[in-house]
Amino acid sequence: MSEKNIILAGLGPHARRIYYPLLEKYARQYQIKVPLIIDLHAQKETICAYLSNRMLQPERLFFVENQERNSETLPESLHQVLVEVGSKEKIHGLIISTEPKAHKPYIFWAIDQNIDILIDKPISAPIGAGTNLEAAQKIWQDYQKISRRLEQSRSNLVVQCQRRSHPGYRLIKNYLQDFGDGSEIG
């Protein structure tokens, strides 16, 4: 079996609780390597402390400057690192676990490279989407752009919705279906 190289964008609380332990658990069995972890410079100390006693060590860390966190595109310095990492070895997957407003540039980069993507929901989160109609409509526009790009790529994009299978959510769903108007609830 050949090595599987997975880049992790975002090593916040969710990734530290879910993704990284799973990568470690299956690293030997599936020959998983982490050539790169990306996060915000403000999180450097926390991330280095977390990684200091982990079995699976990334080959490289890259910290995005805090003032670049709201950019619609990847910072040029990060793009160069991604190109460099990708030229050394085939990248099989990208796990995107950043703040949602940063998802889109990572999605587009991975799609353009034909890299499979696992992303936390939502796929995008324009600033002000909860209070501004134009910003909310941008979510649909983002979805359409991503969908069109995926049609031209070999990438798979999987949106992680972990709590959908939570027993509490299933109980409520079943209750509403049983005692509601009979409509199917997604």
Interatomic CA distance for residues 80 and 15, integer angstroms:
24
Where helices occur in 52-186 by DSSP H, the ranges are 76-88, 103-112, 133-151, 167-179
The whole model's pTM is what? 0.86
pLDDT of residue 182: 57
Using CA atoms, how far residue 52 sits from 14, 55, 61, 144, in Å, is 18, 9, 13, 41
The pLDDT value given to residue 49: 98
Q: How far is CA 120 from the centre of its chain?
A: 5
CATH architecture of the domain 4-179 equals: 3-Layer(aba) Sandwich (3.40)
- pLDDT at residue 30, as a whole number: 94
Q: What's residue 67's pLDDT? A: 87
pLDDT for the residue numbered 144 = 96
- The alpha helices in the chain, defined as continuous H runs, are 13-14, 20-30, 44-51, 76-88, 103-112, 133-151, 167-179
pLDDT in tens, the chain (186 residues): 789 999 999 999 999 999 999 999 999 999 999 999 999 999 999 999 999 999 999 999 999 998 888 788 999 999 999 999 999 999 999 999 999 989 999 999 999 999 999 998 888 988 888 899 998 899 999 999 999 999 999 999 999 877 666 677 677 777 677 776 555 655
Q: What are the backbone angles phi and psi of residue 179, rounded to the nearest 5°?
A: -115, 0
CA atoms of 97 and 163, how far apart (whole Å): 15
What pLDDT score was predicted for residue 114? 98
- Phi, psi of 116, rounded to the nearest 5 degrees: -70, 145
Region at 70 (left for phi over 0; alpha for psi -120 to 50; beta for the rest): alpha
At position 37, the amino acid (one-letter code) is I
d(C-alpha 3, C-alpha 1), whole Å: 7
